[in-house]
Amino acid sequence: GENVEQHPSTLSVQEGDSAVIKCTYSDSASNYFPWYKQELGKRPQLIIDIRSNVGEKKDQRIAVTLNKTAKHFSLHITETQPEDSAVYFCAASIIDNNDMRFGAGTRLTVKP
Amino acid sequence: NAGVTQTPKFQVLKTGQSMTLQCAQDMNHNSMYWYRQDPGMGLRLIYYSASEGTTDKGEVPNGYNVSRLNKREFSLRLESAAPSQTSVYFCASTLRTGSLGYTFGSGTRLTVV
């Protein structure tokens, strides 16, 4: 089955700096890659996703890039704010397949 | 519109006790999932139901059973709880399996002593 690795496990940045979280996946058939944000004690919430027919997707300060050849994808957060502090999870799946696999998570801390 | 509702939010069990975690969604989603979340291990799939009337094992199904009661409800049962099942459990649902973001419930924090 799919295996997703996520790095780093913790990341601390100054407010206003950029943050990058990277994930690699093992199954070349995977074609859907969502990112979730989980604030302390809350449920994971989808913040952005990308399909394999697209190399990059942006939504305001958040962007995701995908390199199918290398089988890795990254989350980029620009102009970070304290409210961006949370645990971020990447995931990979095959569309119409139920076995979505999650990375272990990255705890992002944005220092004011 | 409540989304995905899980009950209970917290539970403490003694080893060997049984319990059922309830999950209901009001978004007319077809697929529902149960995950467990442990520190440093992300979210691991226990069981899923691709559609009403079907259930299948995920990555870590041992010690659990599920029931897709109807399109809205998907329950997770621990028949004989063990300390290794101490975790936070999340129910999730999606309209189209594997291609759209999941909507998660608020989670159940379970402690087995």
For B40-96, the pLDDT digits (tens) are: 788 999 999 988 889 999 999 999 999 998 999 999 999 999 999 999 999 999 987
Tell me how close the Cα of B85 comes to any Cα of chain A, in angstroms. 18
pLDDT by residue for chain A (112 residues), tens digit each? 789 999 999 999 999 999 999 999 999 999 999 999 999 989 999 999 999 888 999 999 999 999 999 999 999 999 999 999 999 999 999 887 777 899 999 999 999 9
Question: What does the alpha-carbon distance between residue A75 and residue A37 come to, in Å, rounded to a whole number?
Answer: 11
Cα angle: B106, vertex B65, A88; to 5 degrees: 35
Cβ neighbours of B97 in A, within 8 Å: 96-98
- Give me the amino acid identity at A53: N
Tokens (6 digits) for B103: 């909507």
Helix (H, G, I), strand (E, B) or coil at A16: coil
